[in-house]
Chain A
Amino acid sequence: MIFKTTRTIGIMLLVWALLFGCENAPSENAAPATVPSPPAAGVIVCMGDSLTAGYGVDEAQTYPALLETRLRDDGFAYRVINAGVSGETSSGALARVDWMLTLDPDIVILETGANDGLRGVDPALTRRNIEAIVAKLQARHITIVLAGMQMVRNLGPDFTRAFGAIYPDIATAADLILIPFFLEGVAGRPDLNQPDGIHPTADGYRIIVNHIHPYILQAIDRHRQKLTNGG
Chain B
Amino acid sequence: MPGGMLSKMIIRELRQNRQQTTVLFLCIVLSVVGLTALGGFQANVHQAMLRDARELHAADVIVRSSFPFLPAMESKLAGLTSRADVAMARVWEFYTVVRTPDASASLLSAVKVVEPGYPYYGRVVLASGEPFHEMLAPGDIVVEQTLLDRLGLAIGSRLFLGDAEMTIRDVVISEPDRPVTVFTLGPRIFVSARDRQRLGLITQGSRVRYMALLRLPASLSPEAVQEELWSAADPTQERVDTFRSADSRLKRFFDNLLFFLKLVGIFTLLLAGIGIQSVLTALMRARVKTMATMKALGAPNRFVMRLYLGVVLLLGIFGTACGIAAGLGLQQGLTFLLADLIPADATFEVAWGAVGQSLVVGLLAVVLFAARPLLNLKHFKPSALFRHEKQKNRWLPGEWLTVLLTTLFFVALVLWQLEDLRIGAYFIGGLLVLVGVAFLGTWLFLKALQRLAVRHLALRQAIRGLFRPRNATLAILVTLTASLTIIYAIFLIEKNLDATFVQAYPQDAPNVFFLDIQRDQTDAFAQLVDRPLEFYPIVRAKLMAINGQAIDPGRERQRKSDNLARPFNLTYRHHLLDDEKFVEGNTLFNPNGGTFQVSVLDRVADIGNIRMGDRLQFKIQGVPLEATVSSIRTRTRESMQPFFYFVFPDAALQKAPQAIFTALRVDPSEMAALQNRIVQALPNVTVLDVSQSIRQIAGALDRFSQAMRFFTLFSMAAGILLVVSSIIATRAARIREAVYYKILGAPGRFVLYVFSLENLLLGGASAAGGLLLAHLISWVVCVRYFDIAYQPYPAASLAGLMVGILAVVLVGLSASRSIMRRKPIQFLRAHAAE
Q: Which residues of B contact A (CB under 8 A)?
A: 65-67, 94-99, 106-108, 111, 160-163, 182-183, 185-186, 200-208, 236-237, 239, 249, 423, 426, 500, 504, 513, 515-516, 518-519, 540, 542, 544, 553, 557, 559-563, 565-567, 569, 603, 606, 619, 621-624, 638-643, 655-659, 683-684, 686, 688, 783-785, 787-789
Q: Is the CB of A156 within 8 A of B513?
A: no
CB A61 to nearest CB in B, in angstroms, measures 12
Residues of B near A91 (CB, < 8 A) are 516, 518, 684
Q: Is the CB of B643 within 8 A of A12?
A: yes
Contacts known (A92-B657, A119-B185); A6 close to B108, Cβ less than 8 A: no
Q: Is the CB of A83 within 8 A of B201?
A: no
Tell me, in angstroms, the Cα distance from A99 to B539 when the chains sit together: 12
Contact with B along A163-205 (1 / 0, CB 8 A): 0000000000000000000000001101001111110000000
Tell me, in angstroms, the Cα distance from A30 to B71 when the chains sit together: 40
Contacts known (A18-B183, A23-B557); A7 close to B683, Cβ less than 8 A: no
Q: A86-B567, A99-B621, A116-B684 are in contact. List 5 more A-B contacts (CB 8 A).
A: A5-B561, A29-B622, A92-B518, A154-B202, A195-B66
Residues of A near B567 (CB, < 8 A) are 20-22, 25, 28, 53, 85-86
Q: Is the CB of B642 within 8 A of A12?
A: yes
Tell me, in angstroms, the Cα distance from A221 to B186 when the chains sit together: 45
Q: Does A42 contact B (CB under 8 A)?
A: no
Contacts known (A23-B566, A158-B97); A7 close to B622, Cβ less than 8 A: no
Nearest A residue to B235 by beta-carbon distance? Answer: A195
Some 8 contacts from A to B, beta carbons below 8 A apart, are A2-B423, A8-B638, A11-B249, A23-B557, A33-B622, A83-B622, A95-B659, A154-B95
Residues of B near A121 (CB, < 8 A) are 683-684, 686
CB B773 to nearest CB in A, in angstroms, measures 20
Contacts known (A28-B622, A154-B202, A157-B163); A7 close to B603, Cβ less than 8 A: yes
Considering the complex, which residues of chain A in the window 112-144 have a beta carbon less than 8 Å from any beta carbon of chain B? Answer: 116, 118-122, 125, 129
CB A34 to nearest CB in B, in angstroms, measures 6
Tell me, in angstroms, the Cα distance from A60 to B185 when the chains sit together: 33
Q: Does A41 contact B (CB under 8 A)?
A: no
Contacts known (A28-B619, A86-B567, A89-B516); A153 close to B203, Cβ less than 8 A: yes
Q: Which 4 pairs of residues, A with B, have the shortest CB-CB distance?
A: A120-B108, A96-B657, A197-B66, A6-B561
Q: Is the CB of B237 within 8 A of A11?
A: no
Contacts known (A99-B657, A156-B97); A2 close to B785, Cβ less than 8 A: yes
CB B180 to nearest CB in A, in angstroms, measures 12
CB A38 to nearest CB in B, in angstroms, measures 19
Contacts known (A27-B553, A86-B567, A156-B97); A11 close to B788, Cβ less than 8 A: no
Contacts known (A6-B787, A9-B562); A15 close to B657, Cβ less than 8 A: no
Interface centre among B163, B559, B659 (most CB of A within 10 A): B659
Q: Is the CB of A85 within 8 A of B642?
A: no
Q: Is the CB of A81 within 8 A of B66?
A: no
Q: Is the CB of A32 within 8 A of B624?
A: yes
Tell me, in angstroms, the Cα distance from A155 to B201 when the chains sit together: 7
Residue in B519, B623, B641, B683 whose CB lies within 8 Å of A125: B683
Tell me, in angstroms, the Cα distance from A53 to B98 when the chains sit together: 31
Residues of B near A95 (CB, < 8 A) are 518-519, 657-659
CB B680 to nearest CB in A, in angstroms, measures 10
Tell me, in angstroms, the Cα distance from A194 to B207 when the chains sit together: 13
Tell me, in angstroms, the Cα distance from A119 to B559 when the chains sit together: 31
Tell me, in angstroms, the Cα distance from A128 to B184 when the chains sit together: 26
Residues of A near B638 (CB, < 8 A) are 8, 10
Q: Is the CB of A154 within 8 A of B96?
A: yes
Q: Does A217 contact B (CB under 8 A)?
A: no
Interface size on A, residues (CB 8 A): 77
Q: Does A228 contact B (CB under 8 A)?
A: no
Tell me, in angstroms, the Cα distance from A27 to B98 when the chains sit together: 37
Residues of B near A190 (CB, < 8 A) are 66-67, 236-237
CB B687 to nearest CB in A, in angstroms, measures 9
Residues of B near A25 (CB, < 8 A) are 565-567
Residue in A8, A24, A83, A188 whose CB lies within 8 Å of B788: A8
Residues of B near A125 (CB, < 8 A) are 683-684
Residues of B near A19 (CB, < 8 A) are 183, 515, 686
Q: Is the CB of B66 within 8 A of A196?
A: yes
Q: Is the CB of B98 within 8 A of A13?
A: no
Q: Is the CB of B640 within 8 A of A8?
A: no
Q: Is the CB of B787 within 8 A of A119?
A: no
CB B240 to nearest CB in A, in angstroms, measures 13
Contacts known (A8-B638, A28-B622, A92-B659); A119 close to B686, Cβ less than 8 A: yes
CB A79 to nearest CB in B, in angstroms, measures 11
Interface centre among B67, B98, B500 (most CB of A within 10 A): B67
Tell me, in angstroms, the Cα distance from A15 to B201 when the chains sit together: 27
Residue in B67, B684, B787 whose CB lies within 8 Å of A8: B787
Considering the complex, which residues of chain A in the window 204-218 have a beta carbon less than 8 Å from any beta carbon of chain B? Answer: none
Q: Is the CB of A158 within 8 A of B99?
A: yes
Residues of B near A120 (CB, < 8 A) are 95, 97, 107-108, 185-186
Q: Is the CB of B562 within 8 A of A6?
A: yes
Residue in B162, B519, B787 whose CB lies within 8 Å of A156: B162
Nearest B residue to A196 by beta-carbon distance? Answer: B66
CB A65 to nearest CB in B, in angstroms, measures 14
Q: Is the CB of B643 within 8 A of A10?
A: yes
Tell me, in angstroms, the Cα distance from A221 to B686 when the chains sit together: 39
Nearest B residue to A59 by beta-carbon distance? Answer: B553
CB B475 to nearest CB in A, in angstroms, measures 33
CB B385 to nearest CB in A, in angstroms, measures 55
Contacts known (A26-B553, A89-B516, A99-B656); A11 close to B542, Cβ less than 8 A: no
Nearest A residue to B98 by beta-carbon distance? Answer: A156
Residues of B near A87 (CB, < 8 A) are 540
